[in-house]
Amino acid sequence: MKRSFKTRGTIAATAAAALLLSSCGEAPEEDGEGAAAEEVDYKACLVSDEGGWDDRSFNQSAFEGLEMAIEELGVDSADAQSTAESEYGPNVDTMVQQNCDVVFGVGFLLEEGLREAAEANPETDFALIDSYFNFEEGEELENAKPLVFNTGEAAYLAGYVAAAMSETGVVGTWGGIQIPSVTVFMDGYADGVERYNTDNDGDVELVGWDKEGQSGSFSGDFSDQTQGREVTEQLLSQDADIIMPVAGNAGVGAGPALEAAEAKMIWVDSDGYESTDYGDIVLTSVLKEIGQSVYATIDEGVQDGFTSESYVGTLENEGVGLAPFHDFEDEVPSEVADAIEQLRQEIIDGDTVIDSENAPS
Amino acid sequence: MSASGSQQGMTPAPKPEHQSPWAEAEGRLSRALRELGQTSWVVTVLAVVVALVVGAVLILAANRDVQASLSYFFAQPTAFLETAFQVLREAYSALFRGAVFDWQAPSAARSIRPLTETMVYSVPLILAGLGIAIGFRSGMLNIGGQGQIILGATSAGFLGYALSLPVGLHVLLALAGGILGGAIWGGIAGVLKARTGANEVIVTIMLNNIAIYLLAYLLQQQWYKQTGSNQPLSSSVDESAQLFSLLGSGFRLHAGFLIAILATLGVWWLLERSTLGFEFRAIGENPEAARTAGINVPKATALVLVIAGGLAGLGGAAHVLGTEYRLAGGVAGTLGFDAITVALLGRSKPLGTFLAGLLLGGLRAGGVLMQAQTGTPIDIVLVLQAVIVLMIAAPPLVRAIFFLPHADGRPRIRRRSARRKTEAAAGTSSSRQPELQTASTSGASSAEPPSAESSSSESPNSTTQEPGK
């Protein structure tokens, strides 16, 4: 008993000392604030969906776009994380009350809230990430801009690479929840595998997603990594050796499972080589440049050039893309790399069209 | 003998020896629930105070300006204190302005809007909280509020957009559908408990999961969602099925708040005035005694969960028909679990639950503004809730923090003084002497004077204690 008190005392003393040391810094000069960027009179605001800003996926990408705008354009900002669906409307409304010039909503679930706010507040601009607005027939708003991404195009390339690199002849994918912005990845991936089989007379099988039947493996949400690992294990047991999880934070659960099985991962949204701890097993990533589009929209707004014209990220405008192979640069045969380059060009030229009912149209 | 006797005297409900461990656990549960209802309101208020203090520490810890000023604390301690005070004032005043009255709002309507927002948020919390509270009063831990809300929302929403009926009828039918959906979901757990003795905690938790995935499945089915798009969202509830607005456009306050008031009165009547409510409370106090008194315990058990489920379902229905208008996978958010907090905070009393619902609704509404205006993470609101629950669930903790006397200390003190009195009355030192020895040798470690301690074994008090232990 005495001993434990002693130890506790030591810990407390150490903590206190640490605190003391860390508190001995110099006070800053009153006016020493170096202006990071020229201040502009523009306020950009962001409302997340339930994922929150640290979801390593689209909320986070959007937030990074905002941060970049704060840094480089010097805009003012406000942000709101939603913790439940009932907060979307109030969060958007609060942003309008904060005199935001533009309000971004991340995710299709904010569509209704943003649309209603756009109707009621013609002075404020609104941008919706990952979905179009469901306007009534003939209705059109000058202040509502959708930012969508045809990720199927980039996932097509990823599917081709996966099929080419698979040693077992089985590749896999799974999603968080069955919604179009997730399944569009899986459709493109399925088509890419198919394309590889057609071009090379191959017989690579895809598990976890059936494009025809629109059914496959889903973990149930975008946060439960244990469940993500579970789904990954299931696909691994079907012999898959390259797996693409499309599940935000839940996808991180695939990391340890794939590492143990010496399989490879294809990450989505951001470059998984940098954004996850499993860079050494990330073959490549399907990039969705949400941050760029947020930044570009703010930039337009600062220059008074906001339009309601929808932004569709494609391979052509580099709104979507395939990340570098990083550690696998040497392992990917040059003919595969060449084929990818050729496919990219085909898609940009419109010779190859990724047909998906989930693609933004 | 004397030591065990005195310890027995401390526990309020002595249990017969032949009980199985399971029954013992159940007994402990119902005792804990009963104690919850008896927690003094002082503890409740103090729990909120503690939560606000803990929240303040976290707000400060998360704030960059405060962190920065802390790094030169010794060079300029006032800077830290000033920043800290400023940050806290801003955060909590934004919480207040977002929840009650916004004196910085541009218009009069806007400045009273926060209070109406608080009411809007509180509607499903109050309704589901009442359901949970009925369970608590009847000795049942109904964790299934979430599933019952989802089922209520699922049925009410579907009836709201799938049918087309005249105005008044449509909304009534949709509400009834919501109640029925929740009641069925609660009833499953109720019947299972009544018939097979299945633990309602486990059953309701499992039913929550089933409800979540049932809704997710339905939202993939075109016949259910009726939108034509492949997003997992249902179409919007018809205007004829929407709960009418109480204050007109610009406010979201809807008739659901009136329903919440009526339900609070109804539950009060049910629990305090009706025979059924008496039966509920009786099985909560002591199922054995209730059975002996001729109460049909299985039937009452099942009915408790049916009614609790119905109330939660009504909450879900009001949520969909009054504010959300459409169903999405996360339509219930964390309402079902927040409702448990509401019931705990309201000490399982109807009025208390109503007020607790308003408080939590206020935290939700205020959190939105606090986050937007001061950049304080909304998670603080969740921490506040969590700390409140922690404090309510452990009243001794609150009492320890504030040096309060024991809540049911009155009987203890009374007993002690009563013992002293009986002793004084008996006054025979000869009988006291040997007992003193047994007490000291058996090592009964208590702050009480040994004389009082030892006398309990032989004093008239011991007759109230259970024999043979």
Q: What is the pLDDT of residues B35-76, one digit of tens each?
A: 665 667 788 888 888 899 999 999 898 888 888 888 888 888
For B82-136, write each residue's pLDDT tens digit: 889 999 999 999 999 999 999 888 888 889 999 999 999 999 999 999 999 999 9
Q: How far, in Å, CA of B238 to CA of B253, rounded?
A: 18
Tell if the CB–CB gap between A79 and B375 is shorter than 8 Å: yes
Which of B74, B229, B329 comes nearest A23 by C-beta?
Answer: B74
Can you tell me the mean pLDDT for B312-321? Answer: 97
pLDDT of residue A339: 94
* CB contact at 8 A, A283 and A162: yes
Res B458 pLDDT > 50: no
CB < 8 Å to A28, chain B:
68, 72
Q: How far, in Å, CA of A26 to CA of B311, rounded?
A: 59
Measure in Å the smallest separation between the Cα of A22 and chain B Cα atoms.
6
Confidence of residue B204 (pLDDT cuts 50, 70, 90): very high
Q: How far, in Å, CA of B51 to CA of B346, rounded?
A: 16
* CB contact at 8 A, B203 and B195: no
Report the candidate in B189, B172, B175, B178 with the shortest Cα–Cα distance to residue B132.
B189
Which of B84-88's residues contact partners 24+ apart within 8 Å by CB, and which partners? B84/B60, B87/B59, B87/B60, B87/B63, B87/B374, B88/B56, B88/B59, B88/B60
Which of B323, B372, B382 comes nearest A98 by C-beta?
Answer: B372
| Average pLDDT of chain A to the nearest whole number | 87
CA angle B9–B13–B18, rounded 5-degree value? 100
Q: What percent of chain A has pLDDT over 70?
A: 89
CB < 8 Å to A131, chain B:
231
Question: For residue B50, how many C-alpha atoms fall within 13 Å in the half-sphere facing its CB?
Answer: 22
Tell if the CB–CB gap between A90 and B365 is shorter than 8 Å: yes
The token duo for B126 is 């109050």
* B350, amino acid identity: P
Measure in Å the smallest separation between the Cα of B436 and chain A Cα atoms.
30
Return the residue in A20, A30, A85 with the most chain B beta carbons within 10 A, the one to mutate for interface testing: A85
- Helices within A98-245 (DSSP H only): 111-120, 151-165, 180-200, 225-237
- 3 state SS of A212: coil
Measure in Å the smallest separation between the Cα of A16 and chain B Cα atoms.
13
Report the candidate in B206, B203, B209 with the shortest Cα–Cα distance to residue B190.
B203
Q: How far, in Å, CA of B365 to CA of B252, rounded?
A: 12
Q: How far, in Å, CA of B72 to CA of B69, rounded?
A: 6
| Average pLDDT of chain B to the nearest whole number | 82
Tell if the CB–CB gap between B368 and A80 is shorter than 8 Å: yes
Tell if the CB–CB gap between A90 and B368 is shorter than 8 Å: yes
**Please, what is the angle between helix A88-97 and helix B350-374, to 10°?**
50
Sheet of strand A311-313, all strands in order from the earlier edge strand to the far edge: A76-80, A43-47, A102-106, A125-129, A144-149, A311-313
Which of B75, B252, B373 comes nearest A25 by C-beta?
Answer: B75
Can you tell me the mean pLDDT for A325-350? Answer: 93
Can you tell me the mean pLDDT for A47-65? Answer: 85
Return the residue in B116, B215, B230 with the most chain A beta carbons within 10 A, the one to mutate for interface testing: B230
Which of B70, B98, B220 comes nearest A178 by C-beta?
Answer: B220
A-B contacts (CB, under 8 Å): 101
Can you tell me the mean pLDDT for B457-468? Answer: 41
Please list the residues that pair with A103 across neighbouring strands: A45, A126
- 3 state SS of B102: coil
Choice between A138 and A358, residue whose per-residue pLDDT is larger: A358
Query: What is A43-149's CATH topology?
Result: Rossmann fold (3.40.50)
Q: How far, in Å, CA of B106 to CA of A123, rounded?
A: 16
CB < 8 Å to A80, chain B:
368, 371-372, 378
Q: How far, in Å, CA of B188 to CA of B179, rounded?
A: 14
Question: Model-level pTM?
Answer: 0.78
Q: What percent of chain B has pLDDT over 90?
A: 50
Tell if the CB–CB gap between A112 and B121 is shorter than 8 Å: no
CB < 8 Å to B364, chain A:
87
Tell if the CB–CB gap between B121 and A27 is shorter than 8 Å: no
pLDDT of residue B181: 97
Res A168 pLDDT > 80: yes
Q: What CATH homologous superfamily does A151-288+330-349 map to? A: Response regulator (3.40.50.2300)
Q: Would you say the CATH fold of A151-288+330-349 matches that of A43-149?
A: yes
Measure in Å the smallest separation between the Cα of B282 and chain A Cα atoms.
38
For chain B, what are the domain ranges? 36-99+376-405, 116-359
For tokens 């006054």, name the residue: B427
Measure in Å the smallest separation between the Cα of B29 and chain A Cα atoms.
31
- CATH top-level class of B116-359: mainly alpha
pLDDT of residue B437: 42
pLDDT of residue B13: 45
pLDDT of residue A134: 82
CB < 8 Å to A22, chain B:
70-71
Measure in Å the smallest separation between the Cα of B367 and chain A Cα atoms.
10
